[in-house]
Amino acid sequence: MRTEQPKMIYLKDYQAPDYLIDETHLTFELFEDQTLVHAQLVMRRNPAASSGLSPASLPPLMLDGQELELLSLALDDRELSTGEYQLTDSHLTLQPSAANFVIDSSVRINPQSNTALEGLYKSSGMFCTQCEAEGFRKITYYLDRPDVMSTFTTTLSAPQHDYPILLSNGNPIASGSEDDGRHWATWEDPFKKPAYLFALVAGDLWCVEDSFTTMNNRDVALRIYVEPENIDKCQHAMDSLKKSMKWDEDVYGREYDLDIFMIVAVNDFNMGAMENKGLNIFNSSCVLAKAETATDAAHQRVEAVVAHEYFHNWSGNRVTCRDWFQLSLKEGFTVFRDAEFSADMHSRTVKRIEDVAYLRTHQFAEDAGPMAHPVRPDAFMEISNFYTLTVYEKGSEVVRMIRTLVGAEGFRKGSDLYFDRHDGQAVTCDDFIRAMEEANGIDLTQFKRWYSQAGTPRLDVSESYDAAANSYRLQFRQSCPATPGQAQKLPFVIPVELALMDGQGRELPLQLVGEDAAVGLSRVLQITEAEQAFTFVNLTEQPLPSLLRGFSAPIKLSFPYSRDQLMFLMQYDNDGFNRWEAGQQLSVQMLQELIGQHQRGESLVLDQRLIEAFRTLLADDALDQAMIAEMLSLPGEAYLTQISEVADVVAIHAAREFARQQLADALFDLLWQRYQNNRKDSRNSDYVAQAEHFARRSLQNIALSYLMLSEKAEVLTACLEQFENADNMTERLAALAVLVNSPFEAEKAAALSSFAENFKDNPLVMDQWFSVQAACSLPGALQRVEQLMQHPAFTLKNPNKIRALIGAFAEQNLQGFHQADGSGYRFLADQVITLNALNPQIAARLLAPLTRWAKYASARQAQMKAELQRILASGELSSDVYEVVSKSLVD
């Protein structure tokens, strides 16, 4: 908790550190009521210090430290008296007397009372750590900044009975027992790393073990540590880890470097996982998966997060960030790497569709809100607030655009140069770009505006065809809305991949005016000006453009397609992503029409062409079932909110539900056939976590959700059969969700209670049970959520529970959250105020839906702002919550 107004920290103020730490030697004495931390830091004056003082001078040494009780302090083996150092609640300052020196400190900390889950804390009886970004300063006095890189040796001692497993980064080098029932272990990490990559674990854990032989024939031991009851849920993560290690060798030429790689699953964790060197610590939701308890989505998330954290070993650990403004250097790049990995493991098109739908719904909303910031922010109060969709997902899109511009081979040359040149260094986004430029002989100066300008660019495209000249002109106009602190934007470099199609859906050769010949059937145009035109020649008929294929840039593109043209693209576009996109645009147009009708009090009439388009899809036996499922999913309410000028949540819901009902009624037979076939196949096969099985189940489940709208007895029977007999969580949970949203009260109540009874001992499954109910938009949602908060399986101390119940309500249940009486807003503000004291990072994240007030009509705006004001006035706020609330209240 802060004691003074948090200050803004600016990128432009960056200075290299005055001192460096070459070696860090830590000893942890873990006890039930306290932990003692002894740190020996081998330090020296930084020859490259930029503080303005000559390298020979010795400025004071300011170590970071928070919530530490200093027990002793020595400089070069001499104990310092209290007059020889200054202590504040954030720093320890002392005066070195030589350029090379050693600091020894001992502090007392209290992991048992650490509910913020940052630094060293306890989760279900085990000790664990989370240090990124600035948690290490809650463990010992240190230079807690990523450009200070040190080797570490770590000794842990703890009671052997309760903590048989003692882990830290690197390789184990010694261990032993003592007479008093305690034991100890020493770990050595030879790779220099910043303190944010430090980790320690002590607990009663079991492990699944395997090994991986690297491309240079080194054997690496792989271990996944979990609480004993979860030992049967590790195989999928282990398989994912081995696939990731192989993929990074094949695709990036990157080999693992230590003799051992460990993953530990913990129940209480603020994020998904953490890439600590050699000792990744994971939210158990991102490790544990088996058919009976985890859905297909959970299996895919485990695979993706295991890969993501593993890939950080190079993009993040071997080459790290100079300062936290550069966070996207490691996060955007690593998200791009894990997305490509997942695309290679499963369906590339489906992965792209899912990622784009997520980006457009959530990152675009962030870009349009009060917390909008560039991929490389230039100022922050609390860095924890900047682990955002913009830094991660948009950052990944920026890396993807570079690859689109330089091609796969050029990208590999650039990444090789980047890793080789900067191995062991803490660098900047500019260093990454420079490697890409030099490896490819190109200039990315203008492209770099993607790092410095916030907001989602718009690209308006218009066409004209000259039949006499056989030429076709596309006119592009780009713009970008103002964002906080950035009124005007300069033009971006926007790669637009496109093709032109003839009336039969064939791609036409692409020849620009001035070119001697056509250059392929699909190509990338670079839009670099505010307005720019491209003229294609040798076209004997007016083509239909397929624009922004594969979503080649994170922008909002608009082109005046007619509904018939969209239906044509849905069927004939060779780019799978754009087929889906055409369906989305068609649905959006039709839903917006319904929204208008609802707002005008007219009766709703759905354009029947949507039904025909969906009928064609359902009848297409050749089309990938996952694609059919994706295309049958109407744009979500959150996306429709995002693209509305003023979002009318009631009309959006009514329109979307009306369209779903119409589709369900008209297409019942086809849906029923698809459902029955797929359910039969599911019954007759074992669970497999692979693309075609994901596809089958996802089409089956979306079909079921439409079919239930019919309220027919045979569908209810089928749904109950699936709920009761499914051998996997994907089918069981989908059936439960459909029941929960249905009017069959008795069946719903019975299903909810049998599910809870069966899975009461599995917290991750109970999270699903909470979420399904929190997201149900039937009347009375808030009361249900409040009641569920009293359920024995719920606790505000566990971030997964908060996300599953309160987060799902506020983010997914737009009807419940935006109740006209403001009760949803009041409820969320109450939770934020409580959590501010317990876990500031989670409190600040939970608050996001309230910051989006500008999207709504004035009555709701006023209610939402009043709740933000109430939070602001509620007492002493953490810097996390203070930053989000205060920025959200700026008009």
Which residues are tagged catalytic?
Answer: 309
Return the residue of 67, 104, 147, 275 that touches ligand B3K, per CB under 6 A.
275
Which region, judged by CB under 6 A, interacts with ligand B3K, from 36-44, 269-277, 676-684, 688-696? 269-277
By CB under 6 A, residue 287 contacts ligand B3K: no
- Using rule CB under 6 A, residue 244 touches ligand B3K: no
696 to 330, 623, 681, 726: CA distances (angstroms): 35, 12, 8, 14
Nearest-angstrom CA–CA distance, 736 and 720: 8
Contacts (CB under 5 A) with Zn ion, residues 334-363: 334
SS (H, E, C) 374-390: CCCCCEECCHHHHCCHH
In the structure encoding, which two tokens stand for residue 62, read together? Answer: 């300011």
Mark the segment that binds ligand B3K (CB under 6 A) among 307-315, 678-686, 733-741, 882-890. 307-315
* Rounded Cα–Cα distance for residues 105 and 76 (Å): 11
CA–CA distances in Å: residue 573 to residues 347, 502, 634, 728: 17, 11, 19, 35
CA 14, distance to chain mean position in Å, is 27
Task: Supply the minimum distance, in Å, between the C-beta of residue 163 and ligand B3K.
Answer: 25
CB nearer to ligand B3K: pick between 329 and 508: 329
Instruction: Give Cβ neighbours of residue 802 (< 8 Å, ≥ 6 apart).
Output: 796, 831, 835, 842, 846
Measured CA to CA, the distance from residue 687 to residue 502 in angstroms comes to 43
Number of residues that bind ligand B3K (CB under 6 A): 12
CA distances from 678 to 564, 692, 737, 804 (A): 31, 11, 18, 29
CA atoms within 13 A on the CB side of 891: 2
Residue 331 makes contact with ligand B3K by CB under 6 A: yes
Count of residues engaged in binding Zn ion, rule: CB under 5 A: 2
Q: How far is the CB of 548 from ligand B3K (least distance, A)?
A: 28
Residues 386-415 within binding reach of ligand B3K (CB under 6 A): 387
**Which neighbouring-strand residues pair with 264?**
225, 281
310 binds ligand B3K, rule: CB under 6 A? no
Q: Which of 92, 133, 291, 782 binds ligand B3K (CB under 6 A)?
A: 133
Nearer to ligand B3K, 302 or 544 (CB): 302
Q: Quick one: 691 or 846, whose CB is closer to ligand B3K?
A: 846
Q: What is the smallest separation between the CB atom of 164 and ligand B3K, expressed in angstroms?
A: 28
387 binds, among Zn ion, ligand B3K, none (CB under 5 to 8 A by kind): ligand B3K
* Separation CA 147–CA 108 (nearest Å): 26
Q: Enter the tokens of residue 817.
A: 């959250």
d(CA 40, CA 141): 10
Say how far apart CA 84 and CA 80 lie, in whole Å.
6
d(CA 125, CA 123): 5
Closest CB to Zn ion among residues 269, 759: 269
Is 158 near ligand B3K (CB under 6 A)? no
- Angle, in degrees to the nearest 10, between helices 296-311 and 729-740: 120
Tell me: does residue 308 bind ligand B3K (CB under 6 A): yes
Residue 144 is a binding residue for ligand B3K (CB under 6 A): no
CB 763 within 8 A of CB 756: no
Residue nearest to ligand B3K (CB): 132
Cβ distance to ligand B3K smaller for residue 192 or 845: 845
**Smallest distance, Zn ion to C-beta of residue 513, A:** 45
Binding to ligand B3K by residue 384, rule CB under 6 A? yes
Helix (H) or strand (E) holding 57: none
Interatomic CA distance for residues 731 and 729, integer angstroms: 5
Position 271 contacts ligand B3K (CB under 6 A):
yes
Name the one range near Zn ion by CB under 5 A: 265-273, 328-336, 688-696, 735-743. 328-336
Contact predicate 187/153, CB 8 Å:
yes
Enclosing H/E stretch for 427 = strand 426-427
> Which residue from 365, 653, 333 is spatially nearest to 483, judged by alpha carbons?
365
The residue type found at 444 is L
Residue 309 found at the interface with ligand B3K (CB under 6 A)? yes
Min dist CB 76 to ligand B3K, Å, is 35
Pick what 658 binds: ligand B3K, Zn ion, none; C-beta below 5 to 8 Å, kind-dependent: none
Both tokens assigned to 796: 């505000």
Structure token digits, residue 506 = 């064939």
Q: Decide which of ligand B3K, Zn ion, none touches 274; Cβ closer than 5 to 8 Å per partner kind.
A: ligand B3K
- Pick the closer one to Zn ion by CB: 331 or 437: 331
User: Hey, what are 664's tokens?
Assistant: 């369900």
Candidates 125-133, 323-331, 454-462, 865-873: pick the segment binding Zn ion (CB under 5 A): 323-331
Piece in contact with ligand B3K (CB under 6 A), picked from 270-278, 363-371, 541-549, 755-763:
270-278
What the block records as the tokens of 880 is: 């996390």
CA distance 537 to 511: 6
Check: CB of residue 491 under 8 Å from CB of residue 478: yes
DSSP secondary structure code for residue 643 in this structure: T
132 binds ligand B3K (CB under 6 A): yes
Binding mask 91-130 for ligand B3K (x = CB under 6 A): ----------------------------------------
Taking the least distance from each CB to Zn ion, the nearer of 331 and 883 is: 331
Shortest reach from residue 427's CB to ligand B3K, in Å: 17
CB of 722 to Zn ion, least distance (A): 36
Q: How far is CA 683 from CA 207, 621, 679, 802, in A?
A: 32, 20, 6, 34
Residue 818 interacting partner from Zn ion, ligand B3K, none (CB closer than 5 to 8 Å by kind): none
- What is the nearest approach in angstroms of ligand B3K to the Cβ of residue 628? 33
**Stretch in the footprint of Zn ion (CB under 5 A) among 200-208, 327-335, 616-624, 861-869:** 327-335
CB 528 within 8 A of CB 553: no
Part of the chain binding ligand B3K (CB under 6 A), chosen from 11-19, 179-187, 305-313, 869-877: 305-313
The footprint of Zn ion (CB under 5 A) covers 331, 334
The footprint of ligand B3K (CB under 6 A) covers 132-133, 271, 273-275, 308-309, 312, 331, 384, 387
